[in-house]
Chains A and B, each alone.
Chain A
Amino acid sequence: MIRLFGTAARATVLAATAGALLLAGCGTAETGDGRGGTLTLWTHNAGNPAELGVVQQIVKDFNASQNKYTVKIQAFPQASYNDSVAAAATAKKLPCILDSDAPNVPNWAFAGYLAPLTLPQAMVDKQLKSTLGLYEGKLYSIGYYDAALALFAHKSALVDAGVRVPTVDQPWTEAEFNTALQKIKADGKYPYALDLGTGDSGIEWWTYAYSPFLQSFGGDLTDRESYKTSDGAINGAAAIKWASWLQSLVKDGYSPARSGTDAFADFVNGKSAMVWSGIWNSGNLSKLGADGVALPPPDLGAGPKIGGGSWQWAISSSCKAKGAAQEYLKFSLAPKYLAQFAKKQDVIPATEQAAELAPGWEPGGPKRFFLDESKKYAELRPPTPGYPYLTTTFAKATQDIVAGADPAKTLNQAAKDIDLDMKFNNYYGF
């Protein structure tokens, strides 16, 4: 019996070792950290052929423009991208060049995944502020474009209700906005005056979409002076006002408690007079012809706000050819490429030079609204390494509030949870 066990154990260890060796063997393939002249580039847009196409074009042009380095693309589906980066970072196998969703940049920079960028200042200055990923005063990432939110509306619904159509320069005040909702509802032509888009269960949508309203009331996710507490910001008087307002939109029947799976399609089909959505739907807005308009959000006290920051590019700290990676980024930021992104999909070009090259984005052009809106009202999500905790907590609190939870109680608990997390993490280096 003992003998049997011994043999079995030995054989098992042998098999385990063989398995481990096999795994290790797989791992020793080309790492793409720049040592062999090959720079691997990771991107989240495997599911977005239009955007990936432009990246492929840039890489092709860059590889042809010099013969020292070769950039190799690896595209991931967006849903598994962040996990892949975290796993690669743990295994010290990050690629040289990678993209990151803007609010994650401080988290990755703090963790030491990313190296600061040293791009020419003149080049950085041309960019929209919301396309720059800054952490501790250093630039860690830079974007080719930004996205923006807007109130999309049936113009006829506003005109029929006798409501002024707001512009970027003259947005609605809170009172005007409330009157507009009342009048549209009284008209009775649309089941809902405003669809908030609450059918999306993705965490980041909740923070991206509804924290600008909180900021417009004068609250925030966290205290941006110290980054050491959320008490007073997420549960202060302004925040409680925001929560009650958001809740009342649903309670008073202006907005559905839970929107359909595609709130924008519902809006196009006449189920709602207005919908709170993003620039990515501006292509679908054309289905309404002249009746479809994009409007800025109302000024709820502290000025109109929309979320800023989309996908941005960075260089990993483990890259052995950071110089070459910088060269690639510089090369890729040429106006003609930035314009390509704006042409191929519904995004805001990152510079004025690119806007001139992309039809519709020139001053006075039909798409210009989003660039002006973004320049004027975009507010970055708090650039702190603790952001992942902030966003999940805020998103959950907002979901609870929309579902009818007590505003003060919910937000106080959120503030308590966030502060505890900060304490557990040594205030994330602040």
Chain B
Amino acid sequence: MATQTRHRPTAIEVSPKPELPTKRTEARNGALMVSPAVVLLLVFFLVPVLLCFILAFTNARLVSPEPTRFIGLDNFSRLFQDPLFWKSLRNTFYFAIVVVPLQSAFALVLALLVNSQHKGTNIFRTLYFIPVVTSIVVVSILWRFMYQPEGLVNQLLQTVSFNTIQGTDWLNNQSTAMPAIMFMSIWQAVGFHMVIWLSGLQTISAELYEAADLDGTNRWEKFRYVTWPGLRATRTFILVTITIAALSLFAQINVMTNGGPRDATSTVVFQAVRVGYQQQATAYASAISLAFFVLVLTVSLVQRYLTRDKD
């Protein structure tokens, strides 16, 4: 498969059209094709982001007769004194620090398993991918039932341990609520990153493995010196996407715990949504979002720096 990809003729080779379109038409076509995406980005991304930046420094409310006016850094001084914000920040990092390495490693293991040419690998690929195409809200509701005191998880624990393990009320216990959500989140999203690892694995030339075989390497050496270096670009991509996804944890919290018990699962995005919609404090929610933006940006930049091309 890998060799096929390499020798497939590129588009330029097959279509050397005799009459090239003029630069003008080409530009117009290009603009036409890009415009739907640009319009959507402008309306649903750039405008909201700009609004968020501006609103964070005002006293804007969702429902209020008072005119919006600038109040400087008041929202931020309120934010930094808000114990819930710090708690949410800690929870968000806790989630990311556990989920990012576990999920990417687990996804790589799965990718290596389903990358072999054995019979039935397609069935496994499909199985691992099913949770990804299921709505996260549906998955969260199902897991909420499974985590109940008399739910499937506890029944299963009792059965396999011959009643020696008595499970807890997973989502209602401060120390288990977040780990329970982590476990379920990894299970749900691991298939997606497995597919990305898989695409990375298939770009590695089979010739390299053949050469390694000739050199008499074992499986670990092959992984260490052929596979791992070959996954360089994929690695960076996966690291950045998982980190951003983990930091913006929201749906599972909203469906399964509402930030509880006692704020044990409150995250920054969850807090922003709660403050912005339920408490109608648009400006304060914007300030939280802005702080979140700076946070994600910093983390991504640090990651870019650490994974940069050192040559």
Do A and B come from the same complex?
yes
Shortest beta-carbon distance from A140 to chain B in Å: 14
A400 to B260, CA, bound (A): 7
Which of B23, B35, B63, B174 has a CB less than 8 Å from the CB of A15? B35
Q: Mark B263-280, 1 if CB is under 8 A from A, else 0.
A: 100000000001001111
Q: Which residue of B lies closest to A5 (CB)?
A: B27
With a CB–CB cut-off of 8 A, which chain B residues contact A425?
Answer: 59, 61, 64, 66
Are A7 and B61 in contact, CB atoms less than 8 angstroms apart? no
- Interface-side segment among A108-116, A128-136, A284-292: A108-116
With a CB–CB cut-off of 8 A, which chain A residues contact B63?
Answer: 86, 89, 107-108, 111, 113, 388
Are A16 and B39 also in contact (CB < 8 A) when A7-B24, A388-B278 are?
yes
Shortest beta-carbon distance from B195 to chain A in Å: 33
Are A403 and B31 also in contact (CB < 8 A) when A110-B64, A258-B169, A420-B78 are?
no
With a CB–CB cut-off of 8 A, which chain B residues contact A108?
Answer: 63
Q: Which residue of B lies closest to A405 (CB)?
A: B262
Interface size class, chain A: 35 or more
Query: Is A389 an interface position by the 8 A CB rule?
Result: yes
19 extra A-B contacts, CB within 8 A, seeds A396-B259, A424-B78: A7-B31, A8-B30, A12-B38, A14-B35, A15-B32, A16-B42, A107-B280, A111-B63, A112-B65, A201-B258, A389-B280, A399-B262, A400-B260, A400-B262, A403-B174, A403-B260, A421-B279, A425-B64, A426-B66
A392 to B84, CA, bound (A): 14
Interface size class, chain B: 35 or more
Q: Mark A241-259, 1 if CB is under 8 A from B, else 0.
A: 0000000000000000110
CB contact list, A387-404 vs B, under 8 A: 388-389, 392-393, 396, 399-400, 403-404
Q: Which residue of A lies closest to B63 (CB)?
A: A111
Query: Is B12 an interface position by the 8 A CB rule?
Result: no
Q: Mark B90-129, 1 if CB is under 8 A from A, else 0.
A: 0000000000000000000000000000000000000000
With a CB–CB cut-off of 8 A, which chain A residues contact B78?
Answer: 420, 424
A399 to B177, CA, bound (A): 15
Which of B59, B74, B83 has a CB less than 8 Å from the CB of A413? B83
With a CB–CB cut-off of 8 A, which chain B residues contact A404?
Answer: 261-262
Query: Is B34 an interface position by the 8 A CB rule?
Result: yes
Are A257 and B36 also in contact (CB < 8 A) when A111-B64, A389-B279, A425-B61 are?
no
Query: Is B172 an interface position by the 8 A CB rule?
Result: yes
Q: Mark A378-420, 1 if CB is under 8 A from B, else 0.
A: 0000000100110011001001100111000000010000001
Query: Is A125 an interface position by the 8 A CB rule?
Result: no
Most chain-A CB neighbours within 10 Å: which of B23, B31, B61, B258?
A: B31
Which of A9, A112, A388, A400 has a CB less than 8 Å from the CB of B280? A388
With a CB–CB cut-off of 8 A, which chain A residues contact B258?
Answer: 201, 399
CB contact list, A191-208 vs B, under 8 A: 201, 203
Residues of B within 8 A of A (CB): 23-24, 27-28, 30-32, 34-36, 38-39, 42-43, 59, 61-66, 74, 78, 83, 148, 169, 172, 174, 258-263, 274, 277-281, 284
Q: Which residue of A lies closest to B75 (CB)?
A: A424
Are A403 and B262 also in contact (CB < 8 A) when A11-B28, A258-B169 are?
yes
With a CB–CB cut-off of 8 A, which chain A residues contact B281?
Answer: 389, 421, 424
Are A257 and B65 in contact, CB atoms less than 8 angstroms apart? no
With a CB–CB cut-off of 8 A, which chain B residues contact A3?
Answer: 23-24, 27
A176 to B207, CA, bound (A): 84
Are A4 and B261 also in contact (CB < 8 A) when A83-B277, A111-B65 are?
no
Query: Is A375 an interface position by the 8 A CB rule?
Result: no
Are A399 and B260 in contact, CB atoms less than 8 angstroms apart? yes
A8 to B24, CA, bound (A): 10
Are B263 and A400 in contact, CB atoms less than 8 angstroms apart? yes
Are B27 and A8 in contact, CB atoms less than 8 angstroms apart? yes
With a CB–CB cut-off of 8 A, which chain B residues contact A385?
Answer: 64
Query: Is A77 an interface position by the 8 A CB rule?
Result: no
A385 to B61, CA, bound (A): 12
Query: Is A376 an interface position by the 8 A CB rule?
Result: no
Are A257 and B169 in contact, CB atoms less than 8 angstroms apart? yes
Shortest beta-carbon distance from A272 to chain B in Å: 15
A19 to B36, CA, bound (A): 9
Are A8 and B61 also in contact (CB < 8 A) when A388-B279, A413-B83 are?
no
